[in-house]
Structure 1
Amino acid sequence: MAATMRAQRFRKATGEWAIEDVPIPEPGPGEVLVRVAFCGICHSDLSLIDGVFAGLGVPDVITQGHEAAGTIAAVGPGVMGWAEGDRVIPAAGRADGTCANCRRGDFAHCIGIQLMAFAYDGAWAQYTVANALGLTRVPDSVPLEQAALLADAVATPFGAVVHTGQVRIGEAVGVWGVGGVGTHVVQLARLVGAHPIIAFDIDADVRGRALELGADLVLDPRDPDVAQRVAAATTGHLLDVAFDAVGLKATFEQGIELLTPGGRLVGVGMSGQEVSLGTTTAFNLSRKQVLGHLGYQNTDIATLVDLVAAGRLDLSRSVSGVVSLEDLGEGIRRLRERDGNPIRILVQP
């Protein structure tokens, strides 16, 4: 193995990044070195570059990329059950090990969770170091380019649908923004039995794709008759669960408006915009719930791997393109400009 590798390096002070030669990291106790096969480009990566996440305590220099899959290149001291060549998905975060929840063994609810590519180096690189306890094994039947999506683009929607939203069979679901996250919310909501599933997007092509991937009805959220059309599709019931995968004031508040009394809105998309819940009297009388969502449980990735391997979850259309590490800028441009309405663009180092 060479001593150096190619990696993207982001500098917080200037907001600039470049592909550079850096030393290949060595795995410490309980860690493995992963040879990266693919890593996704996520909107949160762009948000860091654009300064939206400037206050997150990101190191001065960091390698981005948190949706990775690859093979183990080396194992650190004390690692059991893993070997060189194993196909794996690294978790996109790790417990800090020091907070009150971690001290009592509740690592899944770590208060100081450290996010890959925000707190420590990510996988827009030829190699990345990962905690062995957060790895998920990938069978040969699952392509590594699809496996990379599971680390966030699919696992985060899974957590939103199954854990936070707790969608039940027959519940009416609305999804605002049918891109990299919303597309998978639609697919997973259908998998758990939601009906009807209504997808909202301003782009006609994206709405058409949402129908093909499982939505029962697609609407332009700017349609002045949107509320009446939702009411007609749900026989006047409106939505049990609304998923805002955009995170703007307009989408967030429209989602709340179209909920049935006692319904729940799950916020998945993020922006710097402020939202309003109206008066406390109206909000309390409606009994509506507003739930913030971030991330997933590591066991969710294993569940998703099994679903993909069994053919129950089809992610073949989710890979919208692959760029080399040297062409990372082109992948970022395509996502930022919505060139081709990508679901996910992957980097292949």
Structure 2
Amino acid sequence: MSDADTTPHTVGHAASRRCAAVRVEAPRRHGLIEHEVPAPHAGEVLIEVAAAGVCGSDVELFEGRRPAPYVRYPVIPGHEWAGRIAAVGPGVEGLPVGAAVVAEGFRSCGVCVRCRAGEPTLCTADYAETGFTHPGAFSNLLVVPSRLVHLLPAALPPGTELADCALLEPAACVAAGLLAAQPRPGGHVTVLGTGTLSLLAVQMLAAYRPASLTVVGRGDQHFALAESFGATRCVRSGDAGGLAAVDGRADLVFEATGAAVMVPLAFDLARRGGTVLLEGIAGTGTIEMDPDVFALKQLTVRGVFGAGPAAWSHAIDQLRTGVLDLPSLVSHRLPLTDYARGMALLADRPPALKKVLFLPV
């Protein structure tokens, strides 16, 4: 093998070998650092980050509320991102330098029983994920395993920029649930929440041509947007009359509020024999519910934590075919130097807030 075959190919910032990043040293302790850029090893890819999205789990990481097995301090956060390949390590094929890409966050072992069964998000090895246990995309550059990388379409939909594609990570999580639930055209669907996951679900579910697509939210600030995506009815979670009109009717309920009190509501809104997808992570809170609701209503209940390769491919296909409108879900584009402001926005959740993107500095 020649030297050219064993030396990483580079482009852009990779040649400088140093870049800026936000590093969280410990809960509520962070700083903008300049660090050495790691050269990609065999089977790895160096990415020049276009943008990284901020998730509620990033706030948990910053505030110290994320369970200990799911974070490793100090860490450069950022698991929702899009970028371009800046360099590839030895043995990497089919991923050309300069190509626009995203990548799966979960770094599954690939050899355990669950991984061999095609369920990498249930990997039995120690938890490993970009942005939580490994350096993430709140940085100009990051290194990821090439096996996790997905190429984006050469031409993005009109109005969509590469930075917007950071939302493909939550879109893949939605896709994971819908691929499992297999919604049918003409069905009745209810989506709980008006955050990023819920609005992405509205977009994808509308493509199934449901007979009804109800959105339930605490406030109405995003109802107009949900309707533009295909929602046929929007109801406030405190509107007893509005909820009564859809109670027990949904073939599929998609819950992504992250509020524990909404879980029993999801079961109430599903019809007998219906399916409930739980994608919200509450983190705290307890609920009271009828222990026989699953048996008496013969519900199918599925939890979703992350997304595997098939879900990522599906989300990218949804982007390619025009199902996903990603730019409409972004409200803030901040430089990495405004990390503290980004965390405050997610913690305070002002009414107009949608997705916050960090742009490299």
Q: TM-score, normalised by structure 1?
A: 0.90
Name 1:91's counterpart in structure 2.
104
Partner in structure 1 of residue 227 of structure 2: 211
Counterpart pick for 1:261 among 259, 272, 289:
272
SS of aligned partner of 1:204? coil
Change (3 A) 1:108 1:56: closer
Aligned letter for 1:9?
Answer: R
1:201 to partner: Cα distance: 0.7
Cross-structure match for 2:42: 29
Partner of 1:275: 287
Secondary structure, aligned partner of 1:162: helix
SS in 1 for 2:273: strand
Q: Aligned ranges for residues 54-73 of structure 1 at < 5 Å?
A: 54-73=67-86
Q: Does 1:312 align with 2:323?
A: yes
**1:177 pairs with 2:161:** no
Structure 2 residue aligned with 1:153: 170
**SS in structure 2 opposite 1:145?**
helix
Q: Write the distance in 2 (CA, Å) between the matches of 1:138 and 1:267.
A: 28
**Take 2:86 and 2:354, find their aligned partners in 1: how far apart are those partners?**
29
Letter in 1 for 2:81: A
Aligned counterpart for 1:193 among listed residues 192, 209, 216: 209
Shift of 1:47: 1.8
Question: How many residues end up aligned between the 2 structures?
Answer: 340
Counterparts of 2:211 and 2:59, CA distance in 1: 33
Alignment-derived partner of residue 127 in structure 1: 141
Deviations for 1:321-343, whole angstroms, at most 9, x for unmatched residues?
A: 21111112222222322235333
Q: Is the 8 A contact 1:179 1:341 kept in 2?
A: no
1:106 deviation in Å?
Answer: 6.3
8 Å Cα contact 1:334-1:340 kept in structure 2 = no
2:100 equivalent to 1:82: no
1:7 Cα deviation (Å)? 0.8
Is 1:226 the counterpart of 2:238? The answer is no
Distance in structure 2 (CA, Å) of the matches to 1:264 and 1:180: 21
Quote the Cα distance in structure 2 between the aligned partners of 1:155 and 1:175. 17
Unaligned runs of 5+ in 2: 1-14
**Contact 2:206 2:229 survives alignment (8 Å):** no
Tell me the SS of whatever aligns to 1:265.
Answer: strand
C-alpha distance in 2, partners of 1:263/1:139?
35
User: Is 1:9–2:23 an aligned residue pair?
Assistant: yes
Is the partner of 1:97 in helix, strand or coil?
Answer: coil
What letter corresponds to residue 188 of structure 1 in structure 2? M
Structure 1 stretches lacking a partner, 5+ long: 232-236
Where do 1:29-48 residues align within 5 Å?
Answer: 29-48=42-61
Contact in 2 for aligned 1:79/1:132 (Cα 8 Å): yes
The separation in 2 between residues aligned to 1:290 and 1:144, in whole angstroms, is: 35
The CA RMSD measured in Å over matched residues stands at 2.1
* 1:317, distance to aligned residue in structure 2 (A): 0.5
